[in-house]
Amino acid sequence: MTERLTSLICGTEPMNAVWSPRATLQRMLDVEAALARASAAHGVIPRTAVAAIAEACQADRLDAGALARDAALGGNLAIPLVKQLTARVKDIDPEASKYVHWGATSQDIIDTATVLQLRDSLALIEAGLDALCATLAGLARAHRSTPAVGRTWLQQALPVTLGLKFAQWLDALLRHRERLAALREHALVLQFGGAAGTLASLRAAAADVSATLAQELALAQPTLPWHTQRDRIAEAAAFFGMLIGTLGKIARDISLQMQTEVGELAEPAAAGKGGSSTMPHKRNPVGCAAVLTAAARAPGLVATVFGGMVQEHERALGGWQAEWDALPDLARLAGGALAHIGQIAGGLEVRPERLAANLDATQGLILGEAVMLALGDAIGRLDAHHLVEQASKTAVQTGRTLYDVLAANPAVTQHLDAARLKALLDPANYTGEAHAFVDAVLASNAKRAAPSSSQTHEE
């Protein structure tokens, strides 16, 4: 079983490795080995059987190709895995082979292995989020006061600051950090219920084996098995989907600001990156494209997981199985999108001259609201709106700046002199609470990043 040829366009080697065929098999085997240890600890199976079972629980000892073929007949990967594992154990210790997979059902092994892979994925996501948040905090701080055009409906609206845009990205990612912490608490739990979720096969030892198995795998123990209650997996899918969506928003902004006619931002340059097969002058936003590809795919994958939540009685017929590819794909896409945005943000090119030129593209029209409000204090809002609206139309029709038109109108200059007009038409003077908003997000990020007093004391 091999990776796709496109696996590194929208993914990363570390995240792909977490969900690789070999890692998937190994995590299932890790659960089988832990089950043997837990069962032996409470007298369910002989302690002498543990060593042989643990020794055989190595993915390299299994025939992955045969597992894939046999899974199509058995309906899941655990059935042929247990068959092969039992044979390997029998080669080492025939007596020990009698106790492989004791008390468990296939879904216990597959779900718990998935939870272990999810835990590995969240560790990678957390590291990527921390690094990206630090980078965006630096950008927001550096460009806190850099004027930029704010755009609504893809049209110029009012001035903002570039730092505010970076702070908005950062603020969203800080919420994802909170969601990640909650997801760990909710989803990183053992799945162990036996054939129908009662652990009847373990009789009086059931609770003790379950508790020890959870300890062996460093997972929380749920109140009860959750074979057909898939909210934990759905929450993980939703987390990945929302994270990808936020990263897609960042990629959309950067790619739009990277257009030739706009030219305010650019992805970092690198040898062989962003070129065209036919046009040597081009510098394509290839990192953004990979993230936007992930954002296009993610909603359907999340919907697949959500659609599979409606399951039948104590074991699903199709809904559970639909998760097997959808959740790994979401994790891979999230890891890849996060890595791409981290790389882009880390070397993002900011072009102040283009920011300034685009602010001046309307020759002052985007500051009409500022003039209107200042005039409104003297003549009333409605009259001021009419006056500035007419001045704006005249400026467009004659090709003059809004300042020139307003400065030639006595109805304006009797209330606003030249110096006041120029100040009102300076984008840097009409960014509202942008600076305060940036500062608030930076404070939130600093608070999250700072170690608590208990952590400091322990260190």
pLDDT in tens, 201-247: 999 999 999 999 999 999 999 999 999 999 999 999 999 999 999 99
Is residue 57 included in any domain, yes or no?
A: yes
Phi (first) and psi of residue 197, to 5 degrees: 80, 20
For residue 16, pLDDT over 70 is answered with yes
Read off the CATH number of the domain in which 58 is found: 1.10.275.10
Q: Is the pLDDT confidence value at 453 over 80?
A: no
Q: How far apart are CA 408 and CA 406, in angstroms?
A: 5
CATH number, position 387: 1.10.40.30
When pLDDT is cut at 50, 70 and 90, the band that residue 282 belongs to is: low
pTM of the shown model: 0.93
Question: So what's the pLDDT on residue 281?
Answer: 60
Q: What is the mean pLDDT of residues 365-375?
A: 96
- Residue 214: inside a domain, yes or no? yes
Kindly indicate the confidence band of residue 68, based on its pLDDT and cuts at 50, 70 and 90: very high
Residue 437 counted as domain residue: no
Residue 375 lies in a domain: yes
Evaluate whether residue 66 is within a structural domain. yes
Domain annotation covers residue 384 = yes
Q: Which residue of the set 315, 351, 354, 400 is catalytic? A: 315
Closest CA to 63 of 4, 98, 22, 20: 22
Res 2: pLDDT: 47
Close Cβ partners of 440 (under 8 Å, ≥ 6 residues apart): none
DSSP per position, 373-410? HHHHHHH-HHHHHHHHHHHHHHHHHHT--HHHHHHT-H
Q: Does residue 81 lie within any of the structural domains?
A: yes
In a domain, 52, yes or no: yes
Cβ atoms of 437 and 167 within 8 Å: the answer is yes
Q: How confident is the model at residue 5 (pLDDT cuts 50, 70, 90)?
A: confident
Contacts of 178 (CB under 8 A, 6+ apart): none
Q: Give the domain extent around 73.
A: 13-104+201-218
Residue pLDDT, tens place only, 143-168? 999 999 999 999 999 999 999 999 99
The answer to whether residue 278 scores a pLDDT higher than 80 is no
Q: Domains in the chain: how many in total?
A: 2
Of the candidates 28, 32, 41, 31, the residue with the CA atom closest to the CA atom of residue 207: 41
Helix, strand, coil proportions of the chain in percent (round to 5)? 70, 5, 30
Catalytic, 276? Answer: yes
Residue count of the chain, please give it: 459
